[in-house]
Amino acid sequence: MLSAVGLGCNNFGMKLDQQASAEVIGAALDAGITHLDTAEMYGEGRSEEYIGAALGARRDEVVIATKFLPRPKDEPYTPGALRKRILEACEGSLRRLRTDRIDLYYQHYPDAEAPVDEALETLDELVRQGKVLHVASSNVNAEQIATAANVSAERSLVRFCGTQIEWNLLSRDVERSTVPAERENGLGVVPYFPLASGMLTGKYRRGSEFPAGSRFDAMSFFADRFVNDESFARVEALTAFAEERGRSILELPVAWLAAQDGVASVITGATTPDQVRANAAASWTLTSADLAALR
């Protein structure tokens, strides 16, 4: 079981040091967020380390989701190479997280060369050993979702129980085929980047400089994706939609995702306890009329 709002831990070990990360995790637990989402690549392993150190005796209060990286791009595929990568990654994550099991283990990106059979066989082994409880996929398309489901069924292997995808009110291409494939195969949908890297917070204004220290100010990649006339027009319309209903634009992105069929938990990042509390306190339940208007 996942809390409806999950804590994205990608800032740990990059933007936040160990103490600041611990404060964010503590605020999340106190606010009822029990779903912590990390990956071995976040902060080059420091995110997992900080989570393990911060949880201590509260480990059993949370669902820890982490992800393993694919094989190095310059490493040619040979049978067994992906299996070796997964086993090494799992042991490393268990050690850094200071735990005896991973609650939800994601394949962060599909392997372009290795058959999905090899990943599922290895994950099945880890589940049988008790080192992993549930497995999931991430950043996959509809065809890859269907293939994995078929292989699991045909070979009686552990099946992916969910898929993590980028999905928000500005990035909706996944609604064409990926989300329907998840629903068809009974997978829980776990959206990340619900705020479109901050574009859906309303803090970026048309024709204005980016706030100092903001993601767009620090990372041009994200600014290049979202800073355009179409995005600003959508944000302005969504802001008006929220204000007409006595709400803030900040409340809308998570509420909209949470209302979508099949969504299990929405990953929200935070760099301060106040942000965590604001994310957890979001309680806007959209009506069918609201959803129709947004659609």
Annotated catalytic residues are 42
Report the C-alpha gap between 248 and 170 in whole angstroms.
17
Q: Which residues contact 162 (CB under 8 A, 6 or more apart)?
A: 104, 134, 136, 137, 182, 187, 188, 189, 190, 264
Q: Which residue has the tokens 């989300």?
A: 179
Report the C-alpha gap between 105 and 136 in whole angstroms.
6
- The answer to whether the beta carbons of residues 146 and 172 sit under 8 Å apart is no
80: number of Cβ within 10 Å? 11
- The answer to whether the beta carbons of residues 71 and 39 sit under 8 Å apart is no
3-state per-residue secondary structure call for 188-224: EEEEECCCHHHHHHCCCCCCCCCCCCCHHHHCHHHHH
Report the C-alpha gap between 61 and 110 in whole angstroms.
30
Report the C-alpha gap between 271 and 288 in whole angstroms.
33
Helix (H, G, I), strand (E, B) or coil at 86: helix
245: number of Cβ within 10 Å? 14
- Dihedral of alpha carbons 194, 197, 200, 202, sign: positive
